[in-house]
């Protein structure tokens, strides 16, 4: 797992507020506007575990994108 750079804020996943969170990515709307997403340590660990499980047991076969 990557290093933990924490700030006080709100977790986008569990909706707890005024806790230590770290930047985990952006949500991009259809107009292209970006909203930063912050998650607490527990939610970050759950998201990481979900990501790892998805690669270990994918619903469908993983096919790399073609190279140009």
Tell me the CA distances in angstroms from 58 to 5, 61, 65, 67, one per residue in order.
30, 6, 16, 22
Taking the whole predicted model, whether its pTM rises above 0.85 is answered as no
What is the spatial distance between Cα 57 and Cα 19, in angstroms, rounded to a whole number?
Answer: 33
Eight-class DSSP state of 66: P
Beta carbons of 7 and 22 less than 8 angstroms apart = yes
pLDDT band at 53 (very low <50, low <70, confident <90, very high): confident
The pLDDT of 17-25, averaged and rounded, is 94
Q: Residue 19 burial by CB count (10 A; 0-12/13-18/19+): exposed, middle or buried?
A: middle
């Amino acid at each position: 797992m990557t290093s933990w750079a924490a700030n006080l804020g709100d977790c986008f996943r569990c909706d707890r507020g005024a806790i230590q969170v770290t930047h985990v990515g952006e949500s991009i709307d259809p107009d292209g506007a970006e909203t930063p997403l912050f998650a607490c340590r527990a939610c970050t660990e759950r998201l990481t575990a979900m990501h790892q499980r998805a690669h270990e047991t994918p619903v469908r076969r993983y096919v790399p994108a073609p190279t140009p």
